[in-house]
Structure 1
Amino acid sequence: MSRLNYHHLYYFWRVAVAGNLTNVAKELHISQSALSAQIKQFEHNMDVKLFELRGRRLNLTVHGHRVLAYAHDIFSKGEELESFLRKGSISEKQHLSIGVLTTLSRNFVESFISPLLANPDVSFSLTAKGMTNLLNDLANHELDLVLTNLPIGVDKKDPLWQTQLVSRQPLAIVGPKVNRIHDSFPNGYQNMRWVLPGQNTEIRAAFNSFCATWQYQPDVQAEADDMAMLRLLARDSGALVVLPPVVVKDEIEQGILEVYQRLPNVYENFYAITAQRKFVPEVLLALLKQQIDPELIN
């Protein structure tokens, strides 16, 4: 019966994280050919292909991603054990690496991570990227969690991702408080200028349907997919904006903006995405439990 060679697994882990044989070989003080041979032997013994070459970069196969998840947990715990044996104690401080979609509302992100800010035993890092890069980093276990407002499809044959709906924010028409429209839509909205999310967003599609119901044609002055930019335009343009009020909560509290009208039964969903893995940090499990909106459960 074949037994797992942890020496080979360690070599695989280092190369999988770096994505480069040459650099890892230098760090481990062995030749590149010897390192390559060790990994090929590991693949042969386990009867599985872990890497595929694309250009000059090694890319993990589907099995490679799965093996990396186990290897990461094994050697992370090993490093923790080594620290305990050397120092007689293990640091109780845990670290989370969180990826954030570049266009996501910063107010939502701040609200989501607030429990971490109140916990002195936890540190965290935030990285903003596009969706493809975020999922790649999550698959490579460079990230523990991804926050996004974009749902992802799940391949039933390979359920790599775990997606949790953590919040659902109602959409609303928001504008300057000094020009508050008190009539119900579309009365009083003639000749108003609008700043809207881009055409390919779910928010824009929902607003277009809402306008079509009332046979209303908005005068669109500007479009933006980035919630941070929509927030600035809402504050400075004097136009009406469609977005979740949480995005401009500070401006609403300061009396600069006001919610004119909520859109009926229209929401923006916020998701927390994790990768399937054997070991999940306790601090991450606790954070996800805290962030579930009770209304979503009910």
Structure 2
Amino acid sequence: MINYKQLHYFWRVAKAGSIARAATQLHLAPQTISAQISTLEDQLGAQLFKRVGRGLELTPAGELTLSYADEIFQIGRELEANLRNQADGKDILFRVGVADVVPKSIAYRLLAPGLTAGRVRMVCREDKLERLFAEIAVHRLDLVIADRPLPPALGVKGHSHSLGRTRIAFFAAADLADRYREGFPQSLSGAPMLIAGEGSTMQMGLTRWFSEQGIEPRIVGEFEDSALMKAFGQAGMGIFPAPAVLADEMAGQFSSSLLGEVEGITVEYFAISVERKLSHPAVVAISEAAKADRGR
């Protein structure tokens, strides 16, 4: 097992740029730090520094070790801060990113249990999924809500926890729904259609489904913001897809009627974290609430 004191000495030297400067900062003899780093190198079986002139430069193994050390000590600082806040009765910071393709009402349903986990202050931001993945990789976020798991090809250390799935349905303003409901789904051929932005799992699934069913709708709008798409749908500009679980909301908030559900297509939502075993109290509450919903 890695000796974390030795790892800390390595980290301080890498940040300071030399053993002498790190020794001054740590109030230790340079020989002590040098010996501890040599022991760490022996344990890891890799050289972490190489001499360049009078200075030190990280080897490829050293660069890799530094990236892990950055994460380890950042997590340690966050742990200390959260435990201190709990002990002092202060709010626990909960930083969450929501992919812009996730409907806001779905995001609310998934995140709301997190605010019941004691004194939590949630800082929520919406962005492109790729940027959120980069943020969580460097521990600037505690959680990302997404419509897909973390792709292994990104090389980001993280874990995807399923929060549940829902079927897709089509909705429209009452007059438009009445016109195209009969003969659904074949009636969608030639119908004015509003769709989610390129790259969303809903859009990709529906594109495949349209092709399999031989349906060719007339695409009149493509939206990255699902709320804007629903607003256009409410105004009667076209038929639009949405998670079937939101049928009541579509009828109430958006005055839109159900045409029908799509067989064979579901959208799954994920909580993506950097930890396999969830520990942040808000993240645990969100995961437990999702499990309870699936059990009903």
TM-score (norm 1): 0.71
- Per-residue CA deviations over 1:224-262 (Å, capped at 9, x if unaligned) read 233233222222343111222456753422471011100
* Alignment match of 1:144 (pick from 106, 127, 142): 142
Cα pair distance change 1:83/1:284, threshold 3 Å: closer
SS of structure 2 residue aligned to 1:180: helix
SS of structure 1 residue aligned to 2:207: helix
- Per-residue CA deviations over 1:40-84 (Å, capped at 9, x if unaligned) read x7895543759xxxxxxxxx9554343233313433444567789
Report matched runs for 1:207-222 at 5 Å. 207-222=206-221
Report matched runs for 1:1-298 at 5 Å. 4=5, 8=9, 34=21, 44-45=37-38, 46-47=40-41, 61-79=63-81, 89-91=87-89, 93-118=91-116, 121-154=119-152, 160-181=157-178, 182-186=181-185, 188-189=187-188, 191-245=190-244, 250-254=249-253, 256-276=255-275, 280-292=279-291, 294-295=293-294
Contact 1:167 1:293 in 2 (8 A): no
Cα pair distance change 1:3/1:76, threshold 3 Å: closer
* CA distance in 2: counterparts of 1:262 and 1:291, whole angstroms: 23
* CA distance in 1: counterparts of 2:81 and 2:10, whole angstroms: 15
Contact 1:173 1:241 in 2 (8 A): yes
Q: How many residues are aligned here?
A: 267
- Per-residue CA deviations over 1:201-240 (Å, capped at 9, x if unaligned) read 4323332333334422111111223323322222234311
* CA distance in 2: counterparts of 1:214 and 1:277, whole angstroms: 39
* CA distance in 2: counterparts of 1:178 and 1:49, whole angstroms: 70
Gaps of 5+ in 2: 27-32, 42-46, 50-61
Contact 1:162 1:275 in 2 (8 A): yes
Gaps of 5+ in 1: 16-20, 22-30, 51-59
* CA distance in 1: counterparts of 2:212 and 2:81, whole angstroms: 60
TM-score (norm 2): 0.71
Deviation at 1:195, TM superposition (A): 1.0
Deviation at 1:173, TM superposition (A): 1.1
* CA distance in 1: counterparts of 2:128 and 2:244, whole angstroms: 24
Contact 2:161 2:270 in 1 (8 A): yes
* CA distance in 2: counterparts of 1:151 and 1:277, whole angstroms: 13
Larger proportion of helix:
2
Give the match for residue 56 of structure 1.
none
Cα pair distance change 1:213/1:108, threshold 3 Å: same
**Percent of aligned pairs sharing the same letter:** 13
* CA distance in 1: counterparts of 2:81 and 2:212, whole angstroms: 60
Q: Which amino acid aligns with 1:180?
A: A
Contact 2:116 2:285 in 1 (8 A): no
Give the structure with higher Rg (CA): 2
SS of structure 2 residue aligned to 1:292: helix
Which range moved further: 67-76 or 241-250? 241-250
Contact 2:114 2:283 in 1 (8 A): no
Q: Which amino acid aligns with 1:71?
A: F
* CA distance in 1: counterparts of 2:127 and 2:242, whole angstroms: 21
